[in-house]
Amino acid sequence: MSHRYGAKFIDVEETCPYLPNRLAVLPFYLTDFRAEPEAFDQALAEGVRRSGIFIYHTQCPGCCACEPIRIPVEDFEPRRRHRRVLKKAEAELRVEIGEPIIDRKRVELYNKHKVGRGLGEPGSEIDLRSLKEFIGITCCDSREFRYYRGDDLVGVAIADVGRQAMSAVYCYFDSELSELGIGNFSVLKQIEACRAWGLKYLYLGFYVAGNAHMKYKASYLPHERRIDGVWQRFE
């Protein structure tokens, strides 16, 4: 089956990772946006996400809880909590931006993050190949934001870049350094990068009101959420 996003690959059905007792249905498409950044912008505006070389969107029966969320970066005003995060993290962390890398250090950091944040059980760790398939290979222009404390890599964020927008794909970090707020710091550094590169939006994936891990996304104001196919602004 063909689609404007590319060739339909599969409909993934799984237990919803965000809300209890829900079924998630995710159509996956095989495509390549590296030569078409404008087409990637359009896909992002329609609520699409990326995983490896595939893009997908939600098509869950009887549920529309996942709301794509984006920040108009020129309008964003950091709140007091954001300024605190910047002050503390910038005093301790060094930031580098480059091509995505997959190695054993990153696999260890990813698994530590998942277990430490309660997002995975001991024994559910992934290997080098699985992390590469998730974020190492791509169908977009992808960048890696690296966060170092001294010489130690303590955080990694993957982001995709179009002509006018950036999409935050995934961020993982040392869960023992929660006081640094690396996840929020990463969003703030990506907003800075968007402004420096002349991009209009930073997409943060989905906002789900009933999921505690998603609440931080609503703190970035103003932001826009795609509800019933229409982007609505929240101040």
pLDDT of residue 35: 78
Closest CA to 161 of 182, 138, 184: 138
Rounded Cα gap, residues 74 and 58, in angstroms: 28
In a domain, 188, yes or no: yes
Longest dimension (CA), the chain: 51
Cβ atoms of 199 and 44 closer than 8 Å: no
Evaluate whether residue 42 is within a structural domain: no
The encoded tokens of residue 154 equal 């303590």
| Residue 135 exposure: Cα atoms within 13 Å on the Cβ side | 25
Question: What band does 124 get if pLDDT is binned at 50, 70 and 90?
Answer: confident
226 is a domain residue:
yes
Q: What is the mean pLDDT of residues 109-138?
A: 85
6 domain residue, yes or no: no
Residue with tokens 């995975």: 120
Asked, for residue 48, whether it belongs to a domain, the answer is no
87 CB neighbour count, 10 Å cutoff: 9
Question: What tens digit of pLDDT does each residue of 183-197 get?
Answer: 999 999 999 999 999
Given a contact cutoff of 8 angstroms between Cβ atoms, the answer to whether 74 and 201 are in contact is: no
Q: Is the pLDDT of residue 2 over 50?
A: no
Tokens of 42: 């359009």
Give domain status of residue 34, yes or no.
no
pLDDT-derived band at 22, boundaries 50, 70, 90:
very high
The boundaries of the domain holding residue 101 are 69-234
Domain count for the chain, please give it. 1
| 51-81 burial: b if 16+ Cβ within 10 Å, else e | bebbbbbbebeebebbbbbbbebeebeeeee
- The answer to which of 89-98, 111-120, 180-189, 207-216 has the lowest mean pLDDT is 111-120
Sheet of 54-56, strands arranged across? 2-3, 6-15, 23-30, 54-56, 49-51
Q: Does the N-terminal peptide bond of residue 222 adopt cis geometry, omega within 30 degrees of 0? A: yes
On the CB side of 206, how many CA atoms lie within 13 Å of its CA? 20
31 inside domain: no
pLDDT of residue 1: 36
Q: Which phi-psi region, left, alpha or beta, contains residue 118 (left: φ > 0; alpha: ψ -120 to 50)?
A: left
Instruction: Report how far residue 229's alpha carbon sits from residue 146's, in angstroms, rounded to the nearest whole number.
Output: 34
Confidence label for 3 from pLDDT (cuts 50, 70 and 90): low
- Give the mean pLDDT of the chain: 93
**Per-residue pLDDT tens digits for 23-79:** 999 999 998 898 799 999 999 999 999 999 999 999 999 999 999 999 999 999 999
- C-alpha 131/C-alpha 122 separation (Å) is 17
Q: How do strand 165-173 and strand 201-207 relate by DSSP bridges?
A: parallel
What six digits make up the tokens of 57?
């969107």
pLDDT digits (tens, 9 = 90+) for 144-172: 999 999 999 999 999 999 999 999 999 99
CATH number of the domain within which 93 lies: 3.40.630.30
- How far, in Å, CA of 112 to CA of 92, rounded? 20
